[in-house]
């Protein structure tokens, strides 16, 4: 059978790589893909991005299943369009994808269904937003309502940062310049029609990702990512600078609590509102020192870079799991996981998360010949392209070097061992991915 993966990032590379290993998979197409997906055995890039073109391709090539990687096509209604054309696709409908595409929708939904989350208010008027911040003080969290590629959130540690964030996201005639310092340099420069202002939650973040077939829920291995650009969780927010799996902070009792209080109410709530949820569902959660959990956000796809370590640990046939997902039989699946931990380190381009520099030549171990990488390591490409016989940077997060190890510490050591052999001008890389796992009492 033939599979189509939509997207061009590291998450899509990992999905295509794992799907291509399926016993019944003939070929995996990635649209549009990157320099890495184009070099994987059994994987082929297709230079298509529009929904009508993708539908025509899926029909012409008799694609068995389409898997959507990023959020933008989901928000644009790709699942609705594919289903209307009689094609199998795994992902939420446009209406269900509002859980990610609108922060305001998600917060109101959580409130309606008693899903624990931070207190908030939504504003479309900048003056009222400024007044609210002045009343509540800092630290405080400012979020652009729509999609912002993981960068539309500012955790403002003082009032100046909070007011700048509101101006950046909302004000129609702001005099604020583009350079607002590290705290805001990763925010999308586009205006938003709304901002969501939330209370600041303290604790430790974790990523909780499940598959949903409309009724049944299948949790994947737990994971934890690192959003800030610099070591020690300093600097601006990014789409994610690295991740590891499993996440020791998610104990069995916390796992059960997240399923009971967050995931199940979300899936049941969508069904009650006439919007049956199918696809990946990602809950970003905050776990406080007492083990209480609140929902930071919902995403309607797998995380990036969490996907890379999660799929490196998956031993089961991903195609068979997704087949059950589209046929409503996820209750018949029990994935098998490598007992080892996996950790991924992101190598980002110069100037990321602002306006990343592109075109820098990448060199190093396994970059060009993915088939020669060791069994315990995989270098997943994200923002890469081929130019004049070279592989070059083509966006913000360029690569995710992912490795297995008998512990998170050993996986970390192995990942950095490989990452240090890869070079491109202006490369940015955190040196402490996984550090939170070392402090968790087993």
CA distances, 236 to each of 74, 287, 326, 349, 425 (Å): 27, 21, 38, 15, 21
Question: Which of 402, 131, 74, 115 is CA-nearest to residue 272?
Answer: 115
Question: Which of 169, 170, 148 is CA-nearest to residue 75?
Answer: 148
Confidence check: pLDDT of 177 > 50 = no
Q: Are strands 397-405 and 377-381 parallel, antiparallel or unpaired?
A: antiparallel
What is the model's pLDDT at position 189?
Answer: 38
204 touches 295 (CB < 8 A): no
What is the model's pLDDT at position 183?
Answer: 32
Confidence check: pLDDT of 82 > 90 = yes
CA distances, 235 to each of 154, 183, 187, 226 (Å): 11, 6, 12, 11
- All structural domains of the chain: 2-92 (3.40.50.20), 125-193 (3.30.1490.20)
Binning pLDDT at 50, 70 and 90, where does residue 369 land?
Answer: confident
What is the model's pLDDT at position 52?
Answer: 98
Which pTM does this prediction carry?
0.92
Quick: pLDDT tens for 29-80: 999 999 999 999 999 999 999 999 999 999 999 999 999 999 999 999 999 9
Cite the DSSP H helix spans in 200-303: 252-258, 264-272
Q: What average pLDDT does the structure give for the chain?
A: 92
What is the model's pLDDT at position 149?
Answer: 55
Task: Show the tokens assigned to 235.
Answer: 């600097």
Q: What is the rounded CA–CA span in Å between residue 421 and residue 429? A: 13
Quick: pLDDT tens for 336-354: 999 999 999 999 999 999 9
Confidence check: pLDDT of 187 > 90 = no
Confidence check: pLDDT of 300 > 60 = yes
What is the model's pLDDT at position 153?
Answer: 84
294: CB partners within 8 A, 6+ apart: 116, 117, 118, 201, 285, 286, 288
What is the model's pLDDT at position 367?
Answer: 79
392 touches 385 (CB < 8 A): yes
Q: What is the rounded CA–CA span in Å between residue 356 and residue 403? A: 26
What is the model's pLDDT at position 440?
Answer: 65
Give percent helix, percent strand, percent coil of the chain, each to the nearest 5: 30, 25, 45
């Amino acid at each position: 059978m033939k599979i189509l993966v939509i997207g061009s990032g590291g998450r899509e590379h990992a999905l295509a790589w794992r799907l291509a290993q399926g016993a019944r998979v003939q070929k995996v197409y990635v649209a549009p893909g990157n320099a890495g997906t184009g070099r994987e055995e059994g994987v082929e890039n297709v230079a298509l991005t529009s929904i009508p073109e993708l539908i025509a391709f899926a029909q012409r090539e008799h694609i068995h299943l389409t898997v959507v990687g990023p959020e933008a096509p989901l928000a644009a209604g790709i699942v609705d369009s594919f289903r209307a054309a009689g094609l199998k696709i795994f992902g939420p409908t446009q209406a269900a994808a509002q859980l990610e595409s609108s922060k305001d929708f998600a917060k109101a939904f959580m409130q309606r269904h008693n899903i624990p989350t931070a207190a908030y208010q939504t504003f479309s008027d900048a003056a009222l937003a400024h007044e609210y911040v002045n009343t509540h003080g800092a630290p405080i969290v400012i979020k652009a309502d729509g999609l912002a590629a993981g960068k539309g959130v500012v955790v403002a540690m003082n009032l100046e940062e909070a007011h700048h964030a509101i101006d950046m996201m909302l004000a129609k005639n702001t005099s604020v310049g583009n350079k607002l310092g590290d705290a805001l340099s990763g925010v999308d420069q586009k205006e938003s029609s709304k901002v969501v202002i939330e209370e600041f939650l303290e604790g430790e973040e974790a990523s909780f990702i499940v598959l949903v077939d409309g009724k049944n829920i299948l949790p994947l291995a737990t994971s934890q990512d690192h959003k800030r650009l610099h070591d020690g969780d300093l600097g601006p927010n990014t789409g994610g600078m690295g991740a590891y799996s499993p996440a020791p902070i998610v104990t069995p009792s916390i796992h059960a609590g997240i399923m009971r209080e967050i995931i199940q109410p979300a899936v049941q709530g969508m069904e009650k509102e006439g919007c049956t949820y199918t696809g990946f569902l990602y809950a970003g959660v905050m776990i406080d020192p007492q083990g209480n959990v609140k929902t930071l956000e919902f995403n309607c796809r797998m995380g990036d870079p969490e996907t890379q370590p999660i799929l490196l640990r998956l031993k089961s046939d991903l195609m068979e799991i997704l087949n059950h997902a589209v046929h409503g039989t996820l209750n018949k699946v029990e994935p098998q996981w490598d007992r080892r931990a996996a950790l991924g380190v992101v190598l980002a381009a110069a100037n990321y998360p602002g306006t990343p520099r592109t075109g820098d030549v990448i060199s190093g171990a396994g970059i060009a010949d993915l088939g020669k990488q060791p069994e315990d390591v995989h270098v997943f490409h994200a923002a890469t392209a081929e130019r004049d016989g070279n592989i070059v940077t083509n966006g913000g997060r360029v690569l995710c070097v992912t490795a297995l190890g008998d512990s998170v510490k050993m996986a970390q050591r192995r990942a950095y061992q490989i990452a240090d052999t890869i070079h491109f001008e202006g490369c940015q890389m955190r040196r402490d991915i996984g550090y939170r796992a070392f402090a968790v009492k087993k």
